[in-house]
Amino acid sequence: MSSSLLESVVPEGRTLPVFPYAALGVIELAGSPGVTARKLAEAAKLDGALASRVLEMANSAYFYSGRFPIQTVERACVQLGLSRLVDVLTTTTIERFFRAFVSVKREIRGLFWRRAVTTAIACRMLCEKESERLGTLGYALGLLENVGQLVLMQFRPEETRRVRSAVEAGAPLLESEHEVYGFDHTSVSAELFRTWGFPEELIQAADTHHDKDGSTLAHAGELAECYAACYLLRTPIPTYASWTLATPVPDDFVRDGDFDRDMQALLHRALEQLRIRA
């Protein structure tokens, strides 16, 4: 898929919200084998708001019980540890990015954000069974694998309404997207990842996160999306938003059952599937 895809999505005279520079550095580093908390501290220092957030988190009672406050970003990063640091850095910067999609209704953006964070947490849990490095990539994938949907809502509202009507009438989301736009949200997400210079592993995972034969990372991305759908369908989200969920919730997961038990069972099932594919 070429960058002409994005050119065809974004009308002339309009531009995509700028992806935060600091988040790019973090995601790039998170995918490299020798990453350390100290290296990530360099990326965090590029963004004042981000550096303050890292200091605030590291000094919170949950992470620190020392007598003297932590005053440097480097020490704060080491205190938080690699996994937590990637979570804080990517979540803080990407939340700001999501808010820039101003043509999308606030409630929908809110839903997207909650779904993204839930997917990211679940994706990390699945991927870190293989390695810490895959766990950090999984977190970034979960946060952003559906960003293509936001872009389509922002720039192609009329077609998005048609997709929504088709899904609400019972058609699967991906098929409806193909029918209306000529492609689906996975291609748009992957193209954005490519434009932002993400690691190839993440680009491929975004592109194939609803394919049957994707990588372990891609498969974890879809399972995590399913986990997030189960979660969101049990919260009082507006019913108009449920059409955005691409992955059908398994039939045996009843919506009024025990949430924690079902989540455990879903996670267990996901881990079994990943073991087979790993």
To the nearest whole angstrom, how small is the minimum distance from the Cβ of residue 149 to Fe ion? 7
To the nearest whole angstrom, how small is the minimum distance from the Cβ of residue 223 to Fe ion? 11
Q: Which is nearer to Fe ion, 117 or 246 (CB)?
A: 246
**Cα–Cα nearest to 7, from 179, 133, 150, 192:** 192
Q: Which is nearer to Fe ion, 20 or 148 (CB)?
A: 148
Residue 198's contacts (CB-CB under 8 Å, 6 or more residues apart) are 24, 27, 28, 31, 140
To the nearest whole angstrom, how small is the minimum distance from the Cβ of residue 49 to Fe ion? 29
To the nearest whole angstrom, how small is the minimum distance from the Cβ of residue 186 to Fe ion? 6
Binding residues for Fe ion, per CB under 5 A?
A: 146, 246
**CA 177 – CA 159 distance, rounded (Å):** 9
Q: Which is nearer to Fe ion, 43 or 122 (CB)?
A: 122
**CA 19 – CA 40 distance, rounded (Å):** 18
What would the DSSP string read from start to end of 48-77? Answer: HHHHHHHHHHHTSTTT---SS---SHHHHH
**Cα–Cα nearest to 91, from 185, 195, 20, 192:** 20
Q: Which is nearer to Fe ion, 91 or 208 (CB)?
A: 208
Q: Which is nearer to Fe ion, 26 or 223 (CB)?
A: 223
Query: Which 3-state string (H, E, C) describes 163-218?
Result: HHHHHHCCCCHHHHHHHHHCCCHHHHHHHHHHHHCCCHHHHHHHHCCCCCCCCHHH
Q: Are 232 and 114 in contact (CB under 8 A)?
A: yes
To the nearest whole angstrom, how small is the minimum distance from the Cβ of residue 184 to Fe ion? 8
Q: Which is nearer to Fe ion, 82 or 231 (CB)?
A: 231
To the nearest whole angstrom, how small is the minimum distance from the Cβ of residue 220 to Fe ion? 13
